[in-house]
Amino acid sequence: MQKKYDATISHSTIIRAMGNCFECAKKGISHGENPFGACIIHQGNVISCEYDHAVSKNNPTAHAEVEAICAALNSLNRCSFEGNTLLVTTCEPCPICVTAAKLVGVSHIFYGMSIATGKKRGYLKNSFSSTLCAEMLGGGIKIINYEEMFSTEGLVDFWETHNKESI
């Protein structure tokens, strides 16, 4: 029996979305961006899939999660989500991304690499728990680690290899 997080989202949907995020992040890396990708699933449909744009936009808040949220909202022509909305992302989100997700009504966040794994790899410096951040914002958003089911740690390897080749 597949895990279901609500009436419309199955485990296989999360895995497919995580694969989309992974490929999107690889595209971003090839454009000189950081190794992150994110998708928004709203009422069972993938609305957007974006990569990090912090480098090209000279904007440290242009994280993949924020970009995916903005693209989805623009696509739906609204400024918040109604109903079931999931954020699927390659890395455990930072406080900026959790806050943005909370503000627009995201119900669940699924991620493929924890902050702890990123720190072990020497890539991430952030050590602020996304779950703690969500609790500080009043709860209402569920954060689920999918690292054991679909690890996106390989993006760090891809990013490191790509950056060595471009030097």
Residue 110 contacts by C-beta under 8 Å, 6 or more apart in sequence? 14, 17, 18, 86, 87, 88, 89, 144, 146
12 close to 4: Cβ distance less than 8 angstroms:
no
Q: Are strands 108-111 and 142-145 parallel, antiparallel or unpaired?
A: parallel
**Active site positions, annotated:** 65
What are the beta bridge partners of residue 110?
88, 144
Nearest to 34 by CA among 51, 17, 58: 51
